Structure 1
Amino acid sequence: MRDEQHQTPGLFITFEGGDGSGKTTQAKLAAQWLHDTYAHDVLLTREPGGTDLGRHIRELVLHGQDMGPRAEALLYAADRAHHVHSLVRPALEDGRTVVCDRYFDSSIAYQGGGRTLTPTAIRDLSLWAVDGLMPDLTILIDVTAHVGASRLVGAPDRLERAGAGFHDRTHATYRQLAEEEPHRWAVVDGDGTIEQVAQRVQLALSARLGERLGGRNDSGQPGGSA
């Protein structure tokens, strides 16, 4: 859960997973489900790339020239700081539900684990960048790096080209993070059809957030399902 110091009226849900895990698809489906089933006012966004500035940073880190691991980590942190300040936190303060495709755990897993920078240092950098804003729940769409790689189509980006060892370390770091903070993480098996995984995500959301999902009517007050 978020620190009381940074508590906001809205609900903040993040999706994590390795390349090819299906987390982007599942984040979109979950956002639609929350809107249709509980009448949530949902902001679906992503990192990097959730803002105009973020789209430029996304192009640099995924498709630009090679760069050192620290420069890569700092670019992600810059995107995250602007994203939270300009988009995520204002939406949460307005009482909206924010569903975010990747958040700071991606940096811990990819730059801390995959690039072998210190995970604690990457976490501290990210938390400073977002002024301590923690998700209410983080959904890990869990597939092995091998399965994820087999699902990728099109020309690979910089991170997708990083090699099997990089992606194995990233996956292992995700699993370790979930084990260390079981109160914040829900691990969802990413094997199966899109519909099967979506049902598992819905069950995880219902089980972990319970009454906080409650319906909201047009006035923004608690109410029944849409």
Structure 2
Amino acid sequence: LKNEHLPLYHITNPPYLYLGYIRKHKETQEYLKLFEGKNEGYQDLYQIAMINDLRNNIENLIYIIPSNFLFGASVSNKFRLDLLKYYNINKMFIFETKIFEYTGTNICIGFFKKKPIPKSEIIEFSGIKIRKKDKIVEKSYILKPEFNYRAGSGSERIPKEHIEMCSKILNIPIIVGGGVSNKDDARCLVEAGADVVVMGTFLENNLLRDNGTSLKGIIEEIKNAGKTQKKNYLIK
């Protein structure tokens, strides 16, 4: 493939073995050495596999990995921050049912593409959830570095298309919460038709950090965006 100047893809189902399990079981403790040195801080063998692809400059990855890659907290925070500085997620298939007999966790299939320039930035991608009885649900994900790129952490802004649809068919105030971390997020929600913007997660993470400066900026953005929508927003 290199000789033909074709893009390299690494498509794999790597071993999953959580560091906590390795430490507790004598038969797996030989793998502890893999988590030393440059791999210190990672929590699973699959994380080391993906980081090695990064170190070897592989541009395209298709990985079958535990879904805690997306939803895990301490088990995945460091790994996501390290990996997603260099890779975008193009698509993700998330299985909410058991796939492998000997794997005690649900899995996902992720499609990753190397960024032209490393950057800690917001990552947006489409996800397809496969539930029981082959029910399929499509969902848009927005992962933010300030939330360790964790899905379902309050960091995901509701897609504006959903708000627009609700505002057209419902004759009631549209209350939207979650995922507001900057002025652009706030303006997007207001312009899509939100009547009330809830900002609990933002307040928890930022209010004391800058004495409310960023919050004031977002409030002004909401007011200005409201004027273009002919709405008068009250701040409570």
The question of a shared fold, defined as TM-score above 0.5 by the shorter chain, is answered with no
TM-score, scaled relative to structure 1: 0.30
TM-score, scaled relative to structure 2: 0.29
Choose between structure 1 and 2: higher helix proportion: 1
Ranked by relative contact order (alpha carbons within 8 Å, sequence separation 6 or more), the top structure is 1
Compare CA radii of gyration and give the structure with the larger one: 2
